[in-house]
Each structure stands twice: as structure tokens, then as C-alpha cells.
A = this chain, B = another copy of it.
Amino acid sequence: MNKSPHSEEELLGLISRELPPPSEDVVNGIGDDCAVIRPSGKKGVMELLKTDALVEGIHFASDTPLIRIGWKALCRPLSDIAAMGGTPLHAVVTVAAPSSWGNTEWRALYRGLGKAAREFGVAIVGGETVRSPGPTFISVALTGAVAKQNLRLRSKAKPGDLICVTGKLGGSLKSGRHLRFQPRLAEGKWLAGEHGVTSMMDLSDGLGSDLPKLARASNCSFRIAPDSLPLHRGCSVKEGISDGEDYELLVTVTPTLWPALQGRWSKASPDLPLSPIGLMISPKEFPTILPRGFDHLTPLAS
């Protein structure tokens, strides 16, 4: 019988078994926000590589303005570079579009891509355009770099670390924020320069799906205080946990270093909150029960 993979992780396992073992220069392969490569001949710098795709009917509606789709297509992998503390460098873009597209559609899509490229200092150096007999499909591959000591993996959180998020959560799809979000590149770079930050990840699938991934990668469990979630106006705790597409940073911080870090953050980013929302704990101590049953979580003592 031809079974289906039950989860993204099962699929990744299945895929990885068909591939040759990664070469020695691969610090981090399939499974983190970006692949991390130790380049030969460049000391102290790590290369980042990421690909991300948007499919019409899955990631955007057919009537979404193409300029917004272009923006989102580049900003999504930029958010992954941000989560590694990295600087984006070069992008290649593949577009499969219906043959009905004329100059207007191509221009609008690339105006959105170009806007994001200008804003975040990315060079779009190539790509491919093909005809799609079905939905529009946009794939962006992005390279980046990060100083070795600033690299933040999702596997380095420790029991006892504070869990924090940048910005606010929830309602991204219904508000249209998913089409105009700002990848947290400056913030990711700043946080990666802080000793106290042990791990980072970007919130694309939603806290309820992403935090368990970070926890598993770090062999930890976690406890969230639902009352402490920074929510967008009009959003419930459930929406803040489950909506997804927030593109905020999920960060773990050594608790003793938090007060000083919080002070510096307030000066560096006065307009963007960095909110503690819970604790990483021992994997034995507590099950990872998000996204279902989040209301059964024991609130943190405040």
C-alpha cells in the first residue's frame, strides 16, 4: 500500500534517506530556517541558502494584486535569513505563469519583487520564466551570510531559557498583513549579536506549530503563558497561536541575561515590542501540547 507521509517531519525523513550524506562543509542541512555552509577559504563567515515558494490558490488568492505577491515572494525567505541572524545577498526567481500574462502582469510582479529587493539590499541576479498550464507559481532562492559567532540555530535552546517574540501575533491573513509584512532582518541581526540569545526561528506557520519544532530540535519542552502573548488588535489567544504567517522572530534567551538585553532592545527598537511569553523546560517535565489544548497550559507564575 502507498502510504502518505503523516507530517512534514516524516516527509523530510523519507526524502533525506534517498539523498547522499551531506558533504563536510554542510553545517546545517535540511531542517532549519536556512541551510548553513562553511565555505572554504573564508574565515569566520557562514553562507546561508534558502528557497521558498508561493502557489496560487494555496499562498495567495487569484485576485491578489501581483505587486503584493512579488513583495511577499521575496520577503518570506528574507524572514528565514533574519531568523539566522544573517544578511541577505543574492536571489534567483522562478516564475511559472499562465500564457495569458502580458507586460502589465510581469511588470507588477517584478515591481513588488524589486521593491523588496531595494528595501532589504538584495540583488536579484537571475531566474527563469516558464509557462504554467495551471496556477501561478513563484519560487525564490536566496543566499546570505552570517558571522560564525552570530549564527543562531533552532537547536540551541536550553531548559530554563525565556521564550520571546518580536512584534504582535495573529490575524495576518484576515488583515492582509501577510502581503505587506516586514521581515525582521535588522532585528534578527541585532539579536544574533547578543550573548543571551540561544536560538531563533521565524514564525511562518504560527507559534503553535513553530514552537514545537524549535523545542524538538533543541530537545526541550516549553510552557507558554497565554495571557502574555502580544496579540494584534481584535485577535484571540487562539488566533495568535494558530493563524500563522506572522513572520515575527521566536527567540530564546538565557534568563540571567534577559534584563540587560531587554534594556538594550528598548533603546535599539523602541517601536517594536520584544515580549517574553514562556519558558523552555526539560523534555521530561512537560509535554509539548500546542497548538491543541493551549488553554490547558499552566500559566507562568507572574
**Number of copies of this protein chain within its complex:** 2
- The answer to whether A137 has its CB under 8 Å from any CB of chain B is yes
Given contacts A19-B114, A113-B18, is CB(A92)–CB(B134) below 8 Å? Answer: no
- Bound Cα distance from A139 to B129, whole angstroms: 11
- The answer to whether A5 has its CB under 8 Å from any CB of chain B is yes
| A102 near B2: Cβ-Cβ < 8 Å | yes
List the B residue with the shortest CB-CB distance to A21.
Answer: B123
| A259-275 residues at the B interface, CB under 8 angstroms | none
| B118 near A51: Cβ-Cβ < 8 Å | no
- The answer to whether A57 has its CB under 8 Å from any CB of chain B is yes
Q: How far is the CB of A104 from chain B (nearest CB, A)?
A: 4
Chain B neighbourhood of A35, CB < 8 A: 90, 92, 125-126
Most B CB contacts (10 A, CB to CB) among A42, A118, A137 go to A137
Q: How far is the CB of A256 from chain B (nearest CB, A)?
A: 34
| A22 near B123: Cβ-Cβ < 8 Å | yes
| A130 near B58: Cβ-Cβ < 8 Å | yes
Q: State the majority secondary structure of interface residues on A.
A: mixed
| B93 near A26: Cβ-Cβ < 8 Å | no
Q: How far is the CB of A201 from chain B (nearest CB, A)?
A: 15
Q: How far is the CB of A252 from chain B (nearest CB, A)?
A: 22
| A30-51 residues at the B interface, CB under 8 angstroms | 30-31, 34-35, 37, 39, 41-43, 45, 49-51
Chain B neighbourhood of A26, CB < 8 A: 90, 123, 125
- The answer to whether A231 has its CB under 8 Å from any CB of chain B is no
- Bound Cα distance from A261 to B143, whole angstroms: 37
- The answer to whether A235 has its CB under 8 Å from any CB of chain B is no
Interface residues of A (CB under 8 A from B): 2-5, 8, 11, 14-15, 18-20, 22-23, 25-26, 28-31, 34-35, 37, 39, 41-43, 45, 49-53, 55-59, 89-90, 92-94, 96, 101-107, 110-111, 113-114, 117-118, 121, 123-135, 137, 139, 141, 143
